[in-house]
Structure 1
Amino acid sequence: MHCQPHNGHQVYIWLKNVQYCLLCDERADSDTSICTACESDLPWLIDQCERCALPLPMSGLTCAQCTRQPPAFNEVIVPWLYDFPIDALVTRFKHQGKWPLGRLLAELLGQTLQHRFDEGLAKPDRAIPVPLANKRLRQRGYNQAAMLANWLGSHLDLPVDERLIKRVKETPAQQGLDAKARKRNLRDAFALTDPDRVMGKHLALIDDVLTTGSTADTLARLFIEAGARKVDVYCLARTPKPGD
């Protein structure tokens, strides 16, 4: 527009705002909105199954379920156990629209992934958020997995494809179902919109919490059958085995 000044100066001035911890409201000592003390107290998942990240007594083991029936995905990258305060943060983000909490968790997950990439973990070709059922999407107004995927994509310079897979069957909520019921619930629930975009690709499924792994396994098998080279799973938290 002719009314705009013609100069080479920067239009916007970026301010370094003081960050406050979203958990304790104390001043944070970094650019991340969580203080060092609260970050250290998070339930970091250390010893886990090398395939599905199920919490185990020691590292370097594979759980009995993955040994008997290996899942279609290769590896799960997850920083936390689904325990306090992560369970409360995820719930508030997922069901109460507290997006800053989701953004914080995605940023910390992104740091974990970047560290793993720097150590040699293969970076995927694209990230695929787990799709939400249409009814729940209308009720909630957003897909928390898609929001996580886009935040991770920006942080890690990773392409995100929200349209590659869709739910073709409305299914009841997975919460409260055991592993067998979850698998029955997900039968023929998903479909690829363009199988050609999967061929030969390394994909990463993005979700908030991994419980039994049924959804991740179902989607990974769909990708592998369509020609995907490898499927990993990135999520915020992993639940322990029921009864542990």
Structure 2
Amino acid sequence: MRLPRWRPVWWRPRVQCLLCGAMADQADLPLCPGCDDDLPWLAGHCAICALPLPVAGLTCGQCLHRAPAFHRVETPLRYGFPVDALITRFKHQSSAPFGRLLAQLLARHLRHAFDERLERPDVLIPVPLSRQRERLRGFNQAALLAGWLADPLGLPVDNRLLRRVQDTPAQQGLDAATRKRNLRHAFAVADGAQVEGRHLALVDDVLTTGATAQFIARALHKAGARRVDVYCLARTPAPE
């Protein structure tokens, strides 16, 4: 019979950083301190839509002109190198470890925000993907992210509350007006969904123009939701 290997009480397994290969300090986060520090963390940003701004605590002109249907966007990162490459590999090359790493960073950000009195939602809702695109990709990245967030945040996930009722072209590379036209009738609240009076949090990978979140939040409010927040991995800067 093989005896278990003895280890000191303080011993814990170490993992390699996914970005540079160095040893990570935390066994449950495959990121070394140097790479952690060098990520494009979101500093100054709009207090509502998280658009990167030069100064913290401001509201961007678009949100001042017309407040969005969602209450608040929470995201830890700007969409820039190397986060853009990690999200691309996660979504389009099925590199789940990169998606899980980014989800861990988002969970860390949200736990801190909850400690700072951000209101906790009742449930996480992944943005649904069209059936055709999900079949081609093999998974819905938003559903995976919501599942990875559920345990560390202690929140349930509802994959059936929202339906994608209309397939639309890929949003990447489209301007704001075209995105809005594409999404006008793309989403619906499922029949019998428990929405009335609830605080819901949409989960997605990147917020660009906010058109997807806007149309979904509007539908959820129409169905009786009390508050809709958006949790995403990264926020794109304003176009030049």
Bin of the TM-score, shorter chain as denominator length: over 0.9
TM score, norm. by length of structure 2: 0.93
- Which residue matches 1:28? 24
Q: Secondary structure at the match of 1:197?
A: coil
- Aligned match of 1:187 in 177, 184, 192? 184
User: Matched residues in 2 for 1:104 and 1:135: separation?
Assistant: 27
- Which residue matches 1:157? 154
User: Matched residues in 2 for 1:217 and 1:113: separation?
Assistant: 21
Deviation sequence 1:118-174 (CA, Å, 0-9, x none): 111110000000001111101000000000001001111101001111111111111
Q: Secondary structure at the match of 1:93?
A: helix
- Which residue matches 1:99? 96
User: Matched residues in 2 for 1:98 and 1:153: separation?
Assistant: 20
- Which residue matches 1:75? 72
User: Matched residues in 1 for 2:84 and 2:124: separation?
Assistant: 23
Q: How many residue pairs end up in the alignment?
A: 229
- Which residue matches 2:134? 137
- Aligned match of 1:125 in 119, 122, 129? 122
Aligned AA (1:29): D
Q: Is the 8 A contact 1:195 1:226 kept in 2?
A: no
User: Matched residues in 2 for 1:225 and 1:16: separation?
Assistant: 50
User: Matched residues in 2 for 1:195 and 1:25: separation?
Assistant: 48
User: Matched residues in 1 for 2:23 and 2:101: separation?
Assistant: 15
Aligned AA (1:106): A
Q: Secondary structure at the match of 1:123?
A: coil
- Which residue matches 2:108? 111
Q: Is the 8 A contact 2:25 2:32 kept in 1?
A: yes
Deviation of 1:18 after TM superposition, in Å, equals: 2.1
Deviation sequence 1:195-230 (CA, Å, 0-9, x none): 541110000000000000000010000001110000
Aligned AA (2:17): C
- Which residue matches 1:46? 43
Name the % identity.
59
User: Matched residues in 1 for 2:87 and 2:13: separation?
Assistant: 25
TM score, norm. by length of structure 1: 0.92
Deviation of 1:194 after TM superposition, in Å, equals: 3.3
Q: How does 1:161-240 map onto structure 2 within 5 Å?
A: 161-194=158-191, 196-240=193-237
Q: Is the 8 A contact 2:142 2:204 kept in 1?
A: yes
- Aligned match of 1:146 in 124, 143, 146? 143
User: Matched residues in 2 for 1:157 and 1:79: separation?
Assistant: 19
Deviation of 1:60 after TM superposition, in Å, equals: 1.4
Instruction: Identify unmatched segments of 5+ residues in structure 1.
Output: 1-14
Given the superposition, is the C-alpha separation of residues 195 and 76 from structure 1 closer, same or farther in structure 2, using an over 3 Å criterion? farther
Deviation of 1:17 after TM superposition, in Å, equals: 3.0
Aligned AA (2:103): A
Deviation of 1:59 after TM superposition, in Å, equals: 1.0
Instruction: Identify unmatched segments of 5+ residues in structure 2.
Output: 1-10
